[in-house]
Amino acid sequence: MSDLARQQSDFQRGILTGDDSILAEIPDSQKENRATLFGVYRHAYSSRLVEAMGNDHKLLHIYLGDEMFDAMGHAYVAANPSQHPNLRWFSSSLPDFLRANEPYSKHPVLSDLAALEKALNDAFDAQDAPIIGVADMAGFAPEAWADLTFRTHPSAVRLDLSTNASVVWLALKGGDEPPDPVRLEEPRRLLVWRQDVSPVFRELGVEEAMMWDEAARGIPFGVLCSMLATYADPDSAAARGAGYLHGWVTAGLLAGVSGGD
Amino acid sequence: MNVASSSPVSPTAARAEHPAPSAKPPFLGFGLGLRAQHYDEILSGDPPIDWFEVISENYMLPGGQPLRILDRIRARYPVVMHGVSLSIASTAPPNFEYLAALRDLARRVEPQWISDHLCWTGVHGKNLHDLLPFPYTREALDHVVNRVQLVQDYLGRAIVLENVSTYVQFNNSEMTEWEFLAELSRRSGCWLLFDVNNVYVSAFNHGYDPKAFLEGIPADRVVQFHMAGHSHMGTHIIDTHDHPVCEDVWELYAASLKRFGWVSTIIERDDHIPPLEEILVEVERTREIANRILPSPATQAR
């Protein structure tokens, strides 16, 4: 290992672990001792990352308050050193961290809230794609519809929450007192996407969520309607399917439609 | 004494001694570091700003509003890309995924130039998201020259490197920071971004005269100035970029103009970002001081 490589290794270890061996290679300044000067880097490291987490998770920050968010943030920084050159992705594992580590794992509303904020952040700068409109759908003859497959917009993701975190999110966003956290019997099924430049989400019923998940896998419209027929009145399945589809098109959720060939 | 110039020439250095010719970037005038807080005011108005510097990583994204805004800014103003994660002095293997994303963004933005910092940001697969110092040794110089050559070859253009604020020095340094920068620029062909505030901060922290730094940098290699504020801790200064430019730094700016002439300049604010109107006062001051001190740019040989 070169001398420069060894020094960088020691310097980084000094920041990440508190190891002081690098101080032997650093002089005091005329006005300050080396430990204080090196401490500028130590302090900046975790405080910068926790600040970035706060920017990505503004509502989780409000929900936890400064002190708890700060403690949680430093714990996350210690467990997840950044491995990406772009700070944008540093908080990506936060929902998993909160789900897996006490005391946060005892309060699943926290990981759900973080997951919702992450999904909205991801939708905000997700890949661009043209969206199809009602006119694009009108071009297909009625007999072609059964074979139509759909390409969902790259910003669209489904999220199942086990708590009322979406209600908590709405309250916090509106500046209101959030409701008490509740663990739900049935998951709350959300669809998160970007409309023009703004990330949005809405709740889906169990039937629409199923149809979306299957459509996103490339299942053709005719098969989707057959699946809907097993959920409720079979006679109105095609109409229900067409209704959901119309909603997706007008919401800008679909980036493509293909006829069967 | 310039220790570097008397150092034995390694094979790496010999290859780098002949940098690809690269035209000196043009003088762009007096600009501002683009921040999201000012998007609306800039796009809905016509603020007297000559050009913008954008943080490359803020736009190294799949899509969405940031890139759309950048396209609109780019349609109206010259833009320079300024990165924080090139980690040019790191001994870790080069990150080609990062370089590819940087190159892709440059193809979209067509910036006047691409800059980053003379520093490292991590090793062993980690990124500390800080502009970290290293010793100014012959070994480090050879290493950084080699890396700059690699990046310039990859991007197909000469890059611009900025002096960073530092809080520590190293016992094994063999030359001054300005000697290192001068040699690096001469050998690799990279241009220099002279951060006036960082010179002031490092000079205070390490107890040298900022004018020595100023005089040690080759005048023909500097293509950009940064002006920013800092936080004074009494025994040391931290480069926080969250304050207005202080009077001492304005004085150093005037001295820098006298040494380097007309240099593209921006005001850089990263935190506690005030309304655009407030920052424009500082942009105007960079322009006003240059107009007062220097002859008309049209009459100055560049």
Per-residue pLDDT tens digits for B180-211: 999 999 999 999 999 999 999 999 999 999 99
> B235 and A40: CB-CB below 8 Å?
no
Q: Which of A3, A29, A45 sits opposite B236 (nearest CB)?
A: A29
Q: Residues of A numbered 198-257 whose beta carbons fall under 8 angstroms of chain B's beta carbons: which are they? A: none
Whether B91 and chain A come into contact, CB under 8 Å, resolves to yes
CA distance A21 to chain B (A): 13
Q: Cβ of B236 and A32 within 8 Å?
A: yes
Contact of B137 with B174, CB cutoff 8 Å: yes
pLDDT above 70 as % of chain A? 99
C-alpha to C-alpha distances, B64 to A253, B40, B67, B73, B251, nearest whole angstrom: 15, 16, 6, 15, 42
Are A8 and B171 an interchain contact pair (Cβ–Cβ within 8 Å)? no
Query: Among A261, A245, A258, which Cα is nearest to A134's?
Result: A245
The pLDDT confidence band at residue A259, using thresholds 50, 70 and 90, is confident
CB–CB of A64/A54 below 8 Å? Answer: no
Question: What is the rounded distance in angstroms from the CA atom of residue B202 to the CA atom of residue A119?
Answer: 41
In the structure encoding, which two tokens stand for residue B99, read together?
A: 């370089």
What confidence tens digit (pLDDT) does each residue in B242-290 have?
888 999 999 999 999 999 999 999 999 888 899 999 999 999 999 999 9
Q: Which residues of A touch B135 (CB under 8 A)?
A: 4, 7, 25
CB atoms within 10 A of CB A114: 27
Q: How many CA atoms does the CB half-sphere of B290 hold within 13 Å? A: 22
Q: Measured between CA atoms, how close is B29 to chain A, in angstroms?
A: 29
The reply to whether CATH 1.10.10.10 applies to domain A107-261 is: no
Cα maximum dimension of chain B: 57
Spatial separation of the C-alpha atoms in residues B106 and B120, rounded to whole Å: 22
CATH of domain B4-293: 3.20.20.150
Question: What is the amino acid identity at position B114?
Answer: I
What DSSP character marks residue A232?
S
Closest Cβ opposite residue B126 in set A12, A29, A154: A12
- The answer to whether A134 contacts chain B (CB < 8 Å) is no
pLDDT band at B14 (very low <50, low <70, confident <90, very high): very low
B168/A38 CB distance under 8 A: yes
**ipTM, two decimals:** 0.91
Q: Are B83 and B114 in contact (CB under 8 A)?
A: yes
pLDDT digits (tens, 9 = 90+) for B87-101: 999 999 999 999 999
Find the residue in A nearest to B120 (Cα).
A8
Q: What is the pLDDT of residues B130-186, one digit of tens each?
A: 999 999 999 999 999 999 999 999 999 999 999 999 999 999 999 999 999 999 999
Peptide bond into A199 cis (omega under 30): no
pLDDT of residue A261: 57
Residue ranges per structural domain of chain A: 1-57+65-90, 107-261
Which residue of chain A comes nearest to B57, CA vs CA?
Answer: A86
Residue type, B139: E
Collect all residues with Cβ–Cβ distance below 8 Å to B161 and sequence separation of at least 6: B88, B115, B116, B117, B118, B148, B181, B184, B185, B190, B191, B192, B193
Which among B270, B276, B61, B273 is positioned nearest to A197, based on CA atoms? B61
User: Cβ separation of B125 and A83 shorter than 8 Å?
Assistant: yes
Range from A117-121, A230-234, B235-239 that averages highest in pLDDT: A117-121
pLDDT of res. B20: 52
Flag whether pLDDT at A21 surpasses 80. yes
Count A/B contacts: CB-CB distance under 8 Å. Answer: 139
